[in-house]
Amino acid sequence: MTSASDRVFIFDTTLRDGEQSPGATMTHEEKLEIAELLDDMGVDIIEAGFPIASEGDFNAVSEIARRSKNAVICGLARANFKDIDRAYEAVKHAAQPRIHTFIGTSELHRAIPNLTMDEMAERIHDTVTHARNLTDNVQWSPMDATRTEWDYLCRVIEIAIKAGATTINVPDTVGYTAPMESADLIKRLIETVPGADDIIFATHCHNDLGMATANALAAVAGGARQIECTINGLGERAGNTALEEVVMALKTRHDIMPWTTGVDTTKIMNISRRVAAVSGFAVQFNKAIVGKNAFAHESGIHQDGMLKNRENFEIMRPEDVGLAGTSLPLGKHSGRAALRDKLEHLGFEVGDNQLKDVFVRFKDLADRKKEVFDDDIIALMRVGEASESDRLKLVTLRVVCGTGGPADATLVMMVDGEEKTAIEKGDGPVDAAFKAIRKLHPNTAHLELYQVNAVTEGTDAQATVSVRLEEDGNIATGQSADTDTVVASAKAYIHALNRLLTRRGKTGEDQKEISYKDHG
């Protein structure tokens, strides 16, 4: 039986810190979907956003709070009453609301609000007290804790505990610390700070030196019982501690790390793929746990060992993280029942109407590909498809290109219900197609990212294309998949433009209105 001291709480901040990755902004519906998946997989605390940042963030956090079934729903707030009140307004509808308030305590960060040590200590006391008067679940963070003077760090943590904080998070905001330091810091704080035995210490590690997961696990060894992390390690700069890595490390090496989480690990792959799709940040092939090659074996020696005994070269089973044991392809003769069964096996629940739509697209793909594999089906479900509300829709695209000169693109596109045609030349087929789109829909959007990934192997493989656009402070990511890379590129570009148009209509509710959003 697991004792309270053996339980590690998983605090997911994909929707807050993860969304701080440049270009990773998610739509309202995407945030709700990711929150539901996190709740369903057993994450203990979901940091749903930064409510004061924008009306869009507030609305998303508020709706996630209303819909949550099991998880604590947390809102981030800076150390002032206005932020804290706004955070509480957003999370108060949750069955288990939490306010997470923070301030930078290192010498470098104290200079930002230009506060003396005493002035900052007083603000910490007042703001944590204010938060505790609103809810009995208050988390406090000394931002840049690992570079804060030891005596002062102990002082402000003691103040926060006395003011009513029930969780103290110790962030390695710039990814500077190393595992031995991480463990020692938590251990010393628990031994030194009065009241430390009555609260939970958390760890929040960034990956600037590639040690986020190691530092988080070391902190647990030092006494921390909450790990702050994100799906796929998404986050500011080099990212955060990856949820899938710490959870599977604790599960796989339980012999030397005798702590448990409440996460259903079989749901890891599904949410990893979804976060990659909505953020536009593809998972690197050799990424631990969720990378495409994480369970692939090409070396002859490895393959021979695997055939004799999987344990020779696999320390985890693919099924443990939600990967199918087999990947039997479908084809153009497969029916609806086979497709539904495959979708359910891959973690997708579809209604009859959605199945009809997916089946049409599946048949179209099967006519162009001899075999349709699991990854093809996932791409079919995950990429952005045209909706009735889209103002821009691709009708047809033809390109002529070669080594002898510029490429020609003939594009037919629906613009606000009117069919229009453009012919453009470009430095390659994708450039020509994008120029044709801009001719029919003039815009000032800057192309920040153009990324192509093959879904499977072979010359008939689908290409998944991600396009990230920035216009007037708004950032939108579009995705599409097609066996024709140029067509997939055009669809992804149009998808991103449609998302920008939607955000314009919301008068900036999805914009990041507060620049000083970095935390932890």
Annotated binding site for Mn(2+): 17, 204, 206, 240
**Closest to 261 in 3D by CA, of 297, 217, 300:** 217
Eight-class DSSP state of 283:
P
Q: From the annotation, which residues make up the binding site? A: 17, 204, 206, 240
**Which position has the token pair 């949550």?**
68
Give the count of alpha carbons within 13 A of 119, CB side only: 7
Using alpha carbons, list the distances in angstroms from residue 30 to 6, 135, 166, 313: 34, 28, 31, 37
* DSSP SS3 for 418: strand
Check if the beta carbon of residue 93 is closer than 8 Å to that of residue 72: no
Q: Which two tokens stand for residue 383?
A: 């990429």
CA 69 to chain centre: 20
Beta bridge partners of 451: 466
**Which position has the token pair 């985890």?**
316
Check if the beta carbon of residue 29 is closer than 8 Å to that of residue 56: no
Check residue 289 and give left, alpha or beta (phi > 0: left; psi -120 to 50: alpha). Answer: left
Q: Which residues of 349-383 are buried (b: 16+ CB within 10 A; e: fewer)?
A: ebeeeebeebbeebeebbeebeebbbbbbbbbbbb
- Return phi, psi of residue 458, to 5°: 105, 160
Task: Measure the N-to-C terminal CA separation of the chain; round to a whole number of Å.
Answer: 33
Q: Which segments of 84-147 are extended strands (E)? A: 97-104, 138-143
Residues 6+ apart with CB under 8 A from 190: 196, 197, 201, 222, 223
CA 396 to chain centre: 33
* DSSP SS3 for 146: helix
Q: How many CB atoms lie within 10 A of CB 442?
A: 7
Q: Which residues of 232-265 are buried (b: 16+ CB within 10 A; e: fewer)?
A: bbbbbeebbbbbbbbbbbbbeeeeebebebbbeb
Q: Which two tokens stand for residue 226?
A: 């909450």
